[in-house]
């Protein structure tokens, strides 16, 4: 009888232990570990060596996990009253570490073709989000000051960097302008979250400064990408200068035309009465975007793909109106996956031992000169816009950070040069990539800190807006209700 009771107690305890294992945090951990092992086993059984150290899949997975962890750790670094650093810095540094630590770099191997393909997919997602983030109503209602802030500093900085890099770094003129347009794009990934925090606290909302900068950031990026696409086609064109210029014009016109056709197609297909409409629209939009980016390169008109994607996404969002927001949510889910890959792969392209000290020094000089001119020119663009002196200084400082666009297009020229096997063009492409990485590492944290520290000191806090529920404001003299309703502030986070 005693033995039966003992056996019953043992069974009861085992049952309780199994019940505890099935619930709580331990159960979640065990489930995720089991899923990871099953996934690894299934993929290994198909790809074999590709999943082992030295294989492409192994390298991509390790890079992705390391970049995600690097972004999380970077966001945790906080010294009051300073804001947390942008996570993208941690992702970039993670790739840099994997590339430059002995033994690890040999195990974490990613073929250049795989790396290029993944970065191009990330570029297609970025351009799709940028196109969806624009709205015709906002374009009509935005004041001239927003257009000046978006167009003027971008153009002037691109030209300044082009002139300085041509004489300092001995880059050909077309490659100098490539570098100029790479560096001229501001980073909404840094600007938008900082502006939302200031808007939440009520700083600058009465004159619409946060909304002004968030809306102008998208236009600034599109201008930089368009200029880069045109110069890219000219840089790799064969023939005389006039034929190269003609090819650049044809790429712009071709990208606009194909983008208009595809955007018109997406207006009617899939039709609104179909089931799973959001998923079908997102699939078609992303699929056509990737096809445009890759197909334009295969056709020899690489500069047309980016512009085609921007126009197509803008027209599609224009016809879908409010229903574009869930589609943008699906596109954003893709960005959460490809953002760590993009910044990690960009960091992994840089070998510290292979860096030329002269290139780094001269690149920093060109970058610094462009930033100084950009800040001064931005200040002049808002001289007669109704802002106070302190507000003008803040707007100029907020236009500093570079990150996402530089990571997306910084390696494009290098990838194309490597595909052609031209050592001279590869040198030019590596110079552009090096300066782009330096721009991210220096301006992203400096810009984020400048916005967070200067905002409360230079901007006037609204007396009619509570910090917990701020009233959104528009550009000076114009309410920004349309900006919130059309989703620009949410979808412009590149």
pLDDT class for 15, splitting at 50, 70, 90? low
Domains and CATH numbers, the chain: 15-104 (no CATH), 116-458 (1.20.1530.20)
Give the pLDDT score at 241: 63
Give the pLDDT score at 422: 83
The tokens for 113 are 């073709």
Highest mean pLDDT pick, 16-25, 286-295, 449-458: 286-295
Q: Please, what is the average pLDDT of the chain?
A: 80
Give the pLDDT score at 158: 94
């100098």: which residue's tokens? 176
Give the pLDDT score at 123: 82
Q: Which pLDDT tens digit goes with each residue over 223-257? A: 888 888 888 878 887 666 666 677 777 877 888 89
Spatial neighbors of 113 by CB under 8 A, at least 6 apart, are none
User: Could you give the CA distance from residue 55 to residue 437 in angstroms, rounded to a whole number?
Assistant: 26
DSSP string, 401-417: ---HHHHHHTTHHHHHH
Give the pLDDT score at 481: 37
Give the pLDDT score at 479: 38
Side-chain half-sphere CA neighbours of 161 within 13 A: 31
User: Could you give the CA distance from residue 432 to residue 230 in angstroms, rounded to a whole number?
Assistant: 16
Contact, 312 vs 319, CB < 8 A? no
pLDDT class for 464, splitting at 50, 70, 90? low
The tokens for 137 are 């109503």
| Nearest C-alpha neighbor of 429 from the set 421, 304, 89 | 421
User: Could you give the CA distance from residue 11 to residue 481 in angstroms, rounded to a whole number?
Assistant: 65
pTM of the predicted model as reported, rounded to 2 decimal places: 0.76
What are the distances in angstroms from CA 415 to CA 236, 420, 429?
Answer: 12, 9, 8
Q: Which pLDDT tens digit goes with each residue over 84-115? A: 678 888 888 888 888 888 878 777 888 888 88
Side-chain half-sphere CA neighbours of 204 within 13 A: 32
Q: Which pLDDT tens digit goes with each residue over 321-343? A: 778 888 888 888 888 888 898 88
pLDDT surpassing 90 at residue 162: yes
Contact, 198 vs 220, CB < 8 A? no
What are the distances in angstroms from CA 57 to CA 34, 99, 182, 293?
Answer: 19, 16, 30, 23
């Amino acid at each position: 009888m005693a033995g039966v009771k003992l056996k019953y107690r043992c069974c009861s305890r085992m049952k309780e232990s199994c019940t505890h294992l099935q619930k709580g945090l331990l159960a979640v951990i065990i489930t995720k570990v089991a899923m990871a092992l099953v996934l690894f086993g299934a993929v290994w059984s198909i790809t074999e060596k590709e999943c082992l150290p030295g294989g492409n899949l192994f390298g991509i997975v390790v890079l992705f996990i390391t970049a995600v962890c690097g972004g999380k750790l970077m966001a945790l670094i906080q010294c009051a009253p300073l804001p947390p650093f942008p996570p993208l810095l941690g992702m970039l540094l993670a790739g840099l570490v994997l590339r430059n630590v002995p033994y690890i770099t040999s195990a974490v191997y990613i073929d250049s073709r795989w790396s290029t393909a993944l970065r191009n997919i990330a570029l297609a997602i970025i351009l799709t989000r940028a196109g969806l983030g624009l709205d015709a109503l906002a374009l009509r209602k935005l004041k001239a000051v927003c257009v000046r802030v978006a167009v003027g500093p971008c153009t002037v900085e691109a030209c300044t960097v082009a002139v300085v890099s041509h004489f300092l770094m001995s880059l050909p003129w077309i490659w100098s302008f490539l570098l100029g347009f790479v560096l001229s794009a501001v980073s909404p990934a840094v600007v938008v979250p900082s502006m939302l925090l200031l808007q939440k606290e009520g700083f600058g909302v009465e004159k619409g400064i946060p909304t002004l900068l968030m809306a102008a950031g998208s236009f600034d990026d599109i201008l930089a990408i368009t200029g880069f696409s045109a110069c890219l086609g000219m840089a790799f064109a064969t023939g005389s200068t006039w034929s190269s210029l003609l090819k650049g014009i044809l790429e712009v016109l071709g990208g606009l035309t194909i983008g208009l056709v595809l955007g018109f197609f997406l207006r009617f297909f899939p039709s609104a009465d179909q089931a799973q409409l959001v998923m079908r629209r997102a699939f078609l939009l992303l699929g056509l975007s990737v096809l445009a980016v890759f197909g334009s390169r295969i056709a020899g008109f690489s500069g047309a793909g980016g512009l085609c994607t921007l126009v197509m996404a803008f027209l599609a969002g224009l016809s879908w109106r409010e229903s574009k927001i869930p589609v943008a949510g699906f596109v954003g889910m893709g960005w959460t996956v490809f953002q760590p890959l993009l910044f990690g792969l960009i960091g992994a392209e840089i070998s510290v031992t292979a860096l030329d000290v002269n290139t780094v020094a001269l690149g920093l000089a060109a970058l610094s000169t462009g930033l100084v001119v950009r800040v001064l020119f931005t200040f002049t663009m808002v001289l007669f816009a109704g802002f106070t002196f302190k507000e003008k200084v803040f707007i100029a400082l907020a236009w500093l950070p570079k990150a996402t666009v530089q990571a997306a297009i910084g390696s494009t020229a290098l990838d194309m040069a490597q595909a052609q096997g031209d050592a001279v063009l590869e040198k030019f492409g590596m110079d552009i990539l090096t300066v782009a990485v330096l721009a991210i590492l220096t301006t992203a944290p400096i810009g984020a800190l400048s916005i967070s520290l200067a905002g409360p000191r230079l901007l006037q806090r609204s007396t009619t807006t509570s910090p917990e529920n701020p009233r959104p404001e528009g550009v000076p003299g114009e309410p920004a209700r349309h900006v919130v309703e059309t989703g620009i502030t949410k979808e412009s986070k590149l």
